[in-house]
């Protein structure tokens, strides 16, 4: 019995809400969700474990997660863990060969760049675009503007830490005046 109480008390937020608020909430519209997760590719290689121990907190439905992951956590409650597989078209899209460009090596800011290096470059409209160095051929460098995980099936090992309601401030009645 003591172990069960200890587990329950650890799961409570540091600053508890009034009794009943947030209990039993499920991930969905009008919720603030806190997740821990690890992202792996289809071979099981870890791509990102930054949020394994440091929670990621977001308002559900704001586009902070890939659509397939967001759909996979709908209906989950605090304390649930699982693996969610997200296909490329519901994650970072398929690879687009038109997003790979070839430029002279002299246009890069450093001769020391290596495959995998990332650079920002202004496009014709003056907007910044992020590219990854894919390789070299003679004096040419191949840059890729696809997301590094584009075209990959991703496996998210998630743990829902907390689900809370979105805070909506209550405004005083406009007709009331202080005298």
pLDDT single digits (tens) 108-150: 876 677 888 888 888 888 888 899 999 989 889 999 999 999 9
Distance of CA 33 to the CA centre of its chain: 12
Q: CA–CA separation, 178 vs 64, rounded Å?
A: 41
Please name every residue paired with 82 in a beta bridge, in sequence order, or none if there are none.
158
Q: Give me the domain span that covers residue 58.
A: 28-92+150-165
Paired tokens of 1: 């019995």
Q: How many domains does the chain have?
A: 2
pLDDT tens string 1-14: 333 333 333 344 44
Is 17 part of a structural domain of the chain?
A: no
- Pairwise CA distance, residues 66 & 13, whole Å: 26
Measured distance CA(3)–CA(72) in Å, rounded: 31
Asked whether residue 170 is domain-assigned, the answer is no
Beta strand 100-104 with 46-48 is: unpaired
Task: Give the domain CATH number at 33.
Answer: 3.10.50.40
Residue pLDDT, tens place only, 15-32: 445 444 456 799 999 999
Residue 171 lies in a domain: no
Same domain, 77 and 125: no
Q: Are residues 36 and 112 in the same domain?
A: no
């Amino acid at each position: 019995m003591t172990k069960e109480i200890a587990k329950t008390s650890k799961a409570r937020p540091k600053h508890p809400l009034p009794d009943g608020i947030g209990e039993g909430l499920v991930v969905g519209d009008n919720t603030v969700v806190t997740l821990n997760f690890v992202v792996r590719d289809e071979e099981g290689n870890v791509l990102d474990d930054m949020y394994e121990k440091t929670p990621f907190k977001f308002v559900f439905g704001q586009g902070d997660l890939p659509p397939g992951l967001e759909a996979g956590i709908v209906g989950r409650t605090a304390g649930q863990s699982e693996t969610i597989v997200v296909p490329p078209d519901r994650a970072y899209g398929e690879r687009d060969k038109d997003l790979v460009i070839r430029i002279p090596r002299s246009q890069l800011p450093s001769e020391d760049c290596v495959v995998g290096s990332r650079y920002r470059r202004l496009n014709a409209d003056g907007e910044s675009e992020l590219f990854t160095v894919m390789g070299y051929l003679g004096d040419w460098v191949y840059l890729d503007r696809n997301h590094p995980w584009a075209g990959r099936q991703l496996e998210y090992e998630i743990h829902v830490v907390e689900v809370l309601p979105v805070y909506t401030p209550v405004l005083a009645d406009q007709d009331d005046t202080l005298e």
